[in-house]
Amino acid sequence: MTAGKPIRIGIIGSGNIGNVHMEVLKKVPEAEITAVTDAYLPLAEARAKEHNIERVYESTDKLLSDPSIDAVIVAVSNEWHAPIAVQALEAGKHVMLEKPMALNLASAKQIVEAERKAGKVLMIPHQLRWDALSLALKQQVEKGALGHIYHAKAGWMRRKGIPGWGTWFTQMGKSGGGPLIDLGVHMLDLSLYLMGNPKPVSVYGATYAEFGPRKKGIGSWGAPNWDGQYDVEDLATALIKFDNGATLSLDVSWAALIETDNQPYVQLLGSEGGASIRGTKGKLFAEMFDREADIDLSVPEFDEGPRVRMAKHFLSCIESGLQPLTSVMTGYTNNLILDAIYRSSQTGNEVKLDWDIE
């Protein structure tokens, strides 16, 4: 990395989310995509041509051995997150690692250990934190407008949205789970951030698979493989308790017979005020002179967008050496909670969280 020059980035994984990162980085002059790879090489070659990327590598190994690459974006299926992230850190690269950070808690620990040993930046791209409404609400929380946040409700309920039935998305061994690890991780991360990052101490949860196994509730995202399998949940619910006495109620689904606008939402309940974000709308709730006083949260007219802000933050952390907002430990925290929800569903009992890494 040379002062004044763009940070050189390699993209590992050229599918849908990898392509999103390529599109975003075109808008960020501080970055230059210099290489790309994919398990299906023709896709990487097509992306390189589409985005004018100089080099296509036939393997992750070869891309990571390129000394000119400063950082990589890992945009592959969940089962490969930990192996590739660890390999990239050991190769001396900074890493933006797609969510969820890891397939399971054991893999998450491996990433934490590798990040601490390498001394490189590892960031999880939770774009909802960078949404203009989220930032506006966070500012109000930090000003004390809500007082003590004692409870939050968050979720993302899709009525008919199972992605890529039969592909890696719907196989526990490859994805780590269904909507809980796919959508729930976003809502969990955003809620913790807005609540001021209280320490979770216990979880009670349940998961259900009422539609996926019957090939119902299929969404439009991803091509299905009807010869594949579905062994993940299609709905999850949980209650998370924190060390400060606060609680978080989480509900997510890929398929559910319920009235829903399919939008992610967070509601914060505070001692002095409340707040709500649902999709592209946000509101603050207060009471003044014994009357309701509600205020709409607004997005700037020429907002550059959450993913551009997120990419710029990643680059600034590389330049400064500071920890990113969504650091390796935020990823570990999410995996710790997700793992506990799945275990609670299996046992029917509350699960106390074991913080063996802090």
The CA distance from 242 to 132, in Å, is 27
Q: Is 209 in contact with 234 (CB distance < 8 Å)?
A: yes
Give the neighbor-by-neighbor strand order of the sheet with 55-57: 55-57, 31-37, 7-12, 71-74, 94-97, 122-123
Buried b (16+ CB within 10 A) or exposed e, 265-282: bbbbbbeebbbbbeeeeb
Residues 6+ apart with CB under 8 A from 22: 11, 33, 36, 47, 50, 51, 53
pLDDT cut 90: percent of the chain above it: 93
Phi and psi torsions of 146, nearest 5°: -100, -10
- The number of angstroms, rounded, from the C-alpha of 3 to the middle of its chain's C-alpha atoms is 30
Residue given tokens 């390129």 in the structure block: 66
> Between the CA of residue 76 and those of 91, 267, 340, what are the distances in Å?
18, 31, 24
- pLDDT digit string (tens) for 173-212? 999 999 999 999 999 999 999 999 999 999 999 999 999 9
- pLDDT digit string (tens) for 275-292? 999 999 999 999 888 888
CA geometry: angle at 196 spanning 311 and 276, to 5°? 85
The CA distance from 13 to 60, in Å, is 9
- pLDDT digit string (tens) for 32-77? 999 999 999 999 999 999 999 999 999 999 999 999 999 999 999 9
Helix spans in the chain (H): 16-25, 41-51, 60-64, 81-90, 105-118, 132-143, 172-175, 179, 185-194, 306-320, 328-347
Is the pTM value of this prediction over 0.85? yes
- pLDDT digit string (tens) for 107-157? 999 999 999 999 999 999 999 999 999 999 999 999 999 999 999 999 999
- Give the chain's length: 358
Instruction: Answer yes or no: is pLDDT of 336 > 70.
Output: yes
Nearest to 244 by CA among 333, 148, 137: 148
Look at residue 356 and give its three-state secondary structure: coil
pLDDT at residue 358, as a whole number: 80
